[in-house]
Amino acid sequence: MTLLTRRHAVFALAAGVAACGDNRSAADAPPAGSLGWAIAGPWRIDAERDQYRHPLQTLLFWGLQGDMTVLEILPGLGWYTSILAPYLNANGGHLIAAGFDPRGGTLAQRETLATWEQRFTRDEDVYGEITRTAVTAGGAALAPANSVDLAILPNNVHTLMAEGIAERVFRDVLAALKPGGAFGVEQHRAASTGLQDPLAGTGYVQEAYVKALAQEAGFEFVAASDVNANPRDTRDHPFGVWTLPPTFQSAPLGQPEDPGFDTSPYEAIGESDRMTLKFRKPTGAAVTAPIPPAESQP
């Protein structure tokens, strides 16, 4: 692991201050530059969600190391970016964020992208220089071929399915990974019975369907973890997975929120039941045909 540079002493101080604020001594704070340090940092977004998303266990399960090149697919507002970017920046790694297409997509997607850019492109001391690419309808490369150690797709398989590009994006991830590189997927988990809606309109996807997507793209299945499972989730909610926290949707999409809708039963459930899967690019699967390098977004 790469030694920390002098500027990361600032991060260590920030971690110590945060620890003191939690009535803990600085000696209790995670070592500067560690994954625990990145998770405990003051730069985190919605850290209260850790009780449902278990970032430390999840990222270790996927095999994250500090000196890796990591591809984060559809980072949204940056929940995982706020962990990955400081951690990789402190250890000589590099983050590639393949976000929504700034030249297309919905207004909500463009607003999400703008919020992500505002947060993560203004402080390179903390986040480093993040390479920005896009998941486009035209299929531009997510990253240069055979360049990525670990790719992660957190809770957005349903988004790719809704746009009809899941199969292609899984193949693009395979192309970006080095032979032997890992692909980590977290996704709202549908019941294993019945037919899978190909557009994943409820946000839930069957685990077997995700495995099939990956294996058809050329991945090898490595392992599954129930670290993000939630047996309280019945998956039968009036507005799909978005009825649950953190969204608490109370009306059909495009209609005004219903102030009389009782969200307490869904708060009691907590966030969705999720699969956590790990796949691997076969070691003999290097891409030999040239693939154009991913273009950084302005």
Domain 54-280 is of which CATH architecture? 3-Layer(aba) Sandwich (3.40)
Examine the pLDDT at 236 and tell me if it is beyond 70: yes
Where is average pLDDT lowest: 3-12, 67-76, 218-227?
3-12
User: Given this model, what pLDDT does residue 287 score?
Assistant: 55
Q: Strands, DSSP E only, in the chain?
A: 69-73, 94-100, 131-135, 148-154, 177-188, 220-225, 274-280
Angle, CA 12 vertex, CA 8 and CA 14 arms, to 5°: 110
Examine the pLDDT at 90 and tell me if it is beyond 60: yes
Residue spans of the domains in the chain: they are 8-42, 54-280
Mean pLDDT for 226-244 is 98
User: Given this model, what pLDDT does residue 26 score?
Assistant: 64
User: Across the strands, what pairs with 133?
Assistant: 98
Express each pLDDT in 208-231 by its tens digit: 999 999 999 999 999 999 999 999
CA distance 290 to 141: 11
Examine the pLDDT at 59 and tell me if it is beyond 60: yes
**Is residue 9 classed as helix, strand or coil in its secondary structure?**
helix
Express each pLDDT in 111-166 by its tens digit: 999 999 999 999 999 999 999 999 998 889 999 999 999 999 999 999 999 999 99
Q: What DSSP character marks residue 261?
A: -
Q: pTM score, two decimals?
A: 0.87
Residue 284 — pLDDT band, cuts 50, 70, 90?
A: confident
Where is average pLDDT lowest: 26-30, 178-182, 193-197, 252-256?
26-30
User: Given this model, what pLDDT does residue 294 score?
Assistant: 46
Cβ atoms of 7 and 90 within 8 Å: the answer is no
Label residue 217 exposed, middle or buried (CB < 10 Å: 0-12, 13-18, 19+): buried
Contacts with 245 (C-beta within 8 Å, 6 or more apart), sequence order:
266, 267, 270, 271
Cβ atoms of 221 and 276 within 8 Å: the answer is no
Cβ atoms of 37 and 4 within 8 Å: the answer is no
